Structure 1
Amino acid sequence: MPQSVMHNLNQHVGVVADIEGTELTAADREFLQQPEICGLIFFARNYQSPQQLKALTSDILSLRPDLLLCVDQEGGRVQRFREGFTRLPPMLALEKESQHNREQALTLAHELGWLMAAELRKQGVHLSFAPVLDIETDVSQVIGDRAFGHDAVTVIALASAFVRGMNEAGMAAVGKHFPGHGAIAADSHLALPVDPRSRIELNDDIEPFQTLMSAGLLAGIMPAHVIYPAVDSDNTAGFSAQWLQNILRTELQFNGVIFSDDLSMAGAASVGGYGERAACAMNAGANALLVCNDRAAATEVVAAVGKQLNTSGWQRLSLAALQGPFNRAENDEQFNQRRSLIQQQLLNLL
Structure 2
Amino acid sequence: MIDIAGTELTDLDRERLCHPLVGGIILFSRNYVDPVQLTALTAAIHELRSPALLIAVDHEGGRVQRFRDGFTRLPPMAALGRLWDSDAAKGCEAARQVGYVLAAELRARGVDYSFTPVLDLDYGPSRVIGDRAFHRRPEAVVALAAALGEGLRQGGMGTCGKHFPGHGYVVPDSHVELPVDDRAFEAMQEDIEPYRQLGLDGIMAAHVIYNCMDCNTAVFSNKWIDYLRKQIRFDGVVFTDDLSMAGAGVVGDMLARVETAYAAGCDMLLVCNAPDAVGQVLANWKPAVDAHRSRRIKALLATAPAKSWEELQAEPNYQSALLTISRLMA
TM range (shorter): over 0.9
Change (3 A) 1:51 1:205: same
Determine the C-alpha separation between the residues in 2 that align with 1:44 and 1:70. 12
Determine the C-alpha separation between the residues in 1 that align with 2:70 and 2:136. 32
Determine the C-alpha separation between the residues in 2 that align with 1:146 and 1:59. 32
Alpha-carbon offset, residue 136 of structure 1: 0.6
Matched, 1:344 2:323: yes
Give the corresponding residue for 2:56: 70
Is the Cα contact below 8 Å between 1:121 and 1:326 reproduced in 2?
no
Is the Cα contact below 8 Å between 1:279 and 1:304 reproduced in 2?
no
Determine the C-alpha separation between the residues in 2 that align with 1:327 and 1:349. 29
Residue identity (%) = 47
Deviations 1:307-342 (A, max 9, x none): 123xxx645736332111346579716655433322
Cα RMSD between the aligned structures? 1.7
Change (3 A) 1:204 1:335: farther
Matched, 1:292 2:277: no
Give the corresponding residue for 2:97: 111
Determine the C-alpha separation between the residues in 1 that align with 2:130 and 2:100. 23
Give the corresponding residue for 1:228: 210
Give the corresponding residue for 2:243: 263
Aligned residue-pair number: 325
Matched, 1:208 2:186: no
| Paired residue type of 1:139 | P
Give the corresponding residue for 1:134: 120
Secondary structure of residue in 1 paired with 2:327: coil
Give the corresponding residue for 1:26: 11
Determine the C-alpha separation between the residues in 1 that align with 2:125 and 2:235. 32
| Paired residue type of 1:165 | G
Greater Cα shift, 149-158 or 319-328: 319-328
Is the Cα contact below 8 Å between 1:169 and 1:327 reproduced in 2?
no
Give the corresponding residue for 1:324: 302
Determine the C-alpha separation between the residues in 1 that align with 2:107 and 2:303. 9
1:237 equivalent among 207, 214, 218: 218
Deviations 1:114-163 (A, max 9, x none): 11000000011000001100011111111100011111000000000000
* Higher relative contact order, structure no. (Cα contacts within 8 Å, ≥ 6 residues apart): 1
Determine the C-alpha separation between the residues in 2 that align with 1:117 and 1:62. 21
Secondary structure of residue in 2 paired with 1:289: coil
Give the corresponding residue for 1:13: none
Is the Cα contact below 8 Å between 2:174 and 2:207 reproduced in 1?
yes
Residues 109-258 of structure 1 correspond to what in structure 2 (within 5 A)? Answer: 109-212=95-198, 217-232=199-214, 234-245=215-226, 247-258=227-238
Is the Cα contact below 8 Å between 2:95 and 2:145 reproduced in 1?
yes
Change (3 A) 1:106 1:69: same
Determine the C-alpha separation between the residues in 2 that align with 1:268 and 1:85. 32
Deviations 1:241-269 (A, max 9, x none): 10002x11111111111111100000000
TM-score by length of 2: 0.94
Change (3 A) 1:43 1:334: closer
Is the Cα contact below 8 Å between 1:278 and 1:304 reproduced in 2?
no
Change (3 A) 1:333 1:60: closer
TM-score by length of 1: 0.89
Secondary structure of residue in 1 paired with 2:328: coil
Secondary structure of residue in 1 paired with 2:67: coil
Is the Cα contact below 8 Å between 2:134 and 2:140 reproduced in 1?
yes
Determine the C-alpha separation between the residues in 2 that align with 1:241 and 1:272. 17
Alpha-carbon offset, residue 170 of structure 1: 1.3
Deviations 1:74-111 (A, max 9, x none): 00010000000000000010111112221111111001
Deviations 1:12-33 (A, max 9, x none): xxxx001111100111111111
Matched, 1:43 2:28: yes
Determine the C-alpha separation between the residues in 2 that align with 1:333 and 1:114. 11
Determine the C-alpha separation between the residues in 1 that align with 2:154 and 2:312. 18
Deviations 1:188-232 (A, max 9, x none): 0000000001110111100011110xxxx3111111000001111
